[in-house]
Amino acid sequence: MAAAPTRSLLTRPRARLLAVLAVCAVNFFAHLGALPVTLMEARNFVAAREMAAGGSWLLPTMNGQLRLAKPPLPTWSVATLLRLTHEAANPALLRLPAAAMATLLVLFFWGLTRELTRPAPDEALAPGRTAWLAALVLGSSLLVVTVGREGQWDIFSNSLAIGSLWLLARGWNQPGPAYLTFVGAGLLLGGTFLSKGPVSLYTLVLPFVAATLTRWQPGGRARLRQHLRGTLVAAGVGLLVGGAWPLYVWQHVPAAAAAVARVEVSSWSERHVEPGWYYFNFAVFVGVWALVALAALAAPYARPRAARFVPYGFGLAWLLAALVLLSVVPAKKERYMLPLLPPLVLLLTGLLRYWEQEVAAQRRAPAPDRWLLHAWATALTLAAVAVPVALWWAHLPGFEPADPAFLLTVLALGALAALAARGGWQQRPGPLILASVLMMSALLALLLPAYAALKTRAEATGLRRLTHALARSAWQRLPWLALDELPIEQVWQAGRAVPTWAAPANRLPPLPAVVVAAAPLPRRLPAAWRGRVRVVRTDSFYLGSKPEDGLFYVGELVAGPADER
């Protein structure tokens, strides 16, 4: 027999919204500038910097060369921020659009889950709680947090795709025409394409629609048939919005567009190739919810429990369809698993709601439920205890045992360990859910500076960096060029384009200029330049945190007889 619905402050819509926004604020925005800019971020930030500095917004460039491999919507967002703030060297600022999209992903998923759970048998026990809890789980999932804190394309395309699915589901649930809702879905579909091409349409939208048409979603075909015109409107709007930029590119630079298309098609089959089972560990990427996720995937156990609160068969079909579509593509990366998390979170939230509604009300729960709750509580408690121990052992600056940051970490994680242990001992899933949500936020808020300090300590000391060469005020006013291609991360640090010189060998660049190369400049200069230029004020810098990462040489090139010294 179902337990009576629990009444608390968090049954109020405003309180629930504030709770979700608070989790997103910590998980996606705290310490945004703590970690160095990654390769993918550097590509986006360099293209945005050149766009904001006066480059084309429809034909983006990266380090002075056309950048057509990725659609421009994420770059537009960063470039707009640069035009407003003029702070091109602040990674935390440039990651704000991605963090905002991660927050939108959580909110969109909240709305989508609300539409999917309306007909659930036990939804009336606590209306809206399942969808709200699903939003909290997604917002505290490991892969969503890591991708949502990086300024690249995946979070944009996945967020807008989930938003389009929410509006599609909302439109399909209406008793009458809902063309405005379908137009909104189409706009978001177009934005999805403008973020990362057809990738999220293939990995999120297609498996969702396919699962809707199966017998695992009762009434799905009938609703889609009823709103077929609205669905076609959404598809048409999405095609118009998403296809506008590729069409513009094809009309203005057809040769470059064709070359990029060939490279992109081949890269999906030739680069980052992994075996078909590469994604089979996807459940661990929900982080603190991993054990619950594994239990939710055990259909004989989870289905009779979770199906009372979520459409379990539909969610499993959606998840398996997405997994198959991802696995058949040879190119694989961890962040490509992001489309698997929404259906997985839907399933595990159904199990959480069963435990919350039924197990907590029973004097003695069935053995499988007891074992899972005890295992979940044990894992959380051990993790909360292990982190301060690891901090003590690492002796990081600012996190010594007497430092306030260390003491605060011990207190916060100690309280969470006690909360988790109590929930497991009393077989109360509520404290375990709260401890899981808060643990991810606590780790991010308290330990990201420690992680940054750990990475800094791992770097070799005494290495000259590009920032040291940039300290020369005279070089800041000169154009820069490279005789060997400079890694894009270094181009980002340079604060300007450093194009690779590709003119005829006997042609000199405008002088004076700053030149970088992978070999000492007197030996690396083209033969046709010798006797016509000389190198003055030379320097060098390492490309990474260790000498083996590579060394580049830099110097000022001026007109005049060769300097043979």
Q: Please work out, in degrees rounded to the nearest 5, the angle formed at the alpha carbon of residue 331 by the alpha carbons of 327 and 336.
A: 70
Helix/strand/coil percentages in the chain, nearest 5: 65, 5, 30
Token pair of 310, please? 């979520």
Q: Are strands 480-482 and 513-517 parallel, antiparallel or unpaired?
A: parallel
Q: Where do runs of H (alpha helix) occur along 26-95? A: 39-52, 73-85, 91-94
The strand pairing partners of 291, in sequence order, are none
Render pLDDT for 39-55 as a digit per residue (tens, 0 to 9).
999 999 999 999 999 89
pLDDT of residue 310: 96
Q: Which residues of the chain have pLDDT under 70?
A: 1-9, 360-361, 363, 458, 562-565
Render pLDDT for 59-88 as a digit per residue (tens, 0 to 9).
999 998 999 989 999 999 999 999 999 888
Task: Give the orientation angle of helix 404-426 with respect to helix 367-394, to 10 degrees.
Answer: 170
Measured between alpha carbons, how far is 114 from 123 in angstroms, rounded to an integer? 10
Residue by residue, what is the 3-state secondary structure of 216-277? CCCCHHHHHHHCHHHHHHHHHHHHHHHHHHHHHHHHHCHHHHHHHHHHHHHHHHHCCECCCC
Whether the CA torsion 233, 239, 242, 244 is positive or negative: it is negative
The strand pairing partners of 209, in sequence order, are none
Measured between alpha carbons, how far is 169 from 230 in angstroms, rounded to an integer? 11
Contacts of 298 (CB under 8 A, 6+ apart): none
pLDDT of residue 243: 95
Q: Where do we find the tokens 């094809």? A: 250
For 324, the enclosing helix (H) or strand (E) is helix 312-327
Measured between alpha carbons, how far is 306 from 211 in angstroms, rounded to an integer? 18
Residue by residue, what is the 3-state secondary structure of 441-462? HHHHHHHHHHHHHHHHHHCCCC
Contacts of 409 (CB under 8 A, 6+ apart): 387, 388, 391, 399, 442, 446, 447
Domain boundaries, the chain: 34-361, 386-458, 466-559
Measured between alpha carbons, how far is 135 from 10 in angstroms, rounded to an integer? 14
- Cβ 33 vs Cβ 156: under 8 Å: no
- Cβ 137 vs Cβ 64: under 8 Å: no
For 551, the enclosing helix (H) or strand (E) is strand 551-559
- Cβ 122 vs Cβ 308: under 8 Å: yes
pLDDT of residue 391: 86
pLDDT of residue 360: 67
Token pair of 466, please? 């590009």
Measured between alpha carbons, how far is 354 from 348 in angstroms, rounded to an integer? 10
Which amino acid is residue 274, in one-letter code? E
- Cβ 557 vs Cβ 526: under 8 Å: no
Token pair of 485, please? 């291609």
Q: What's this model's pTM, rounded to 2 decimal places? A: 0.93
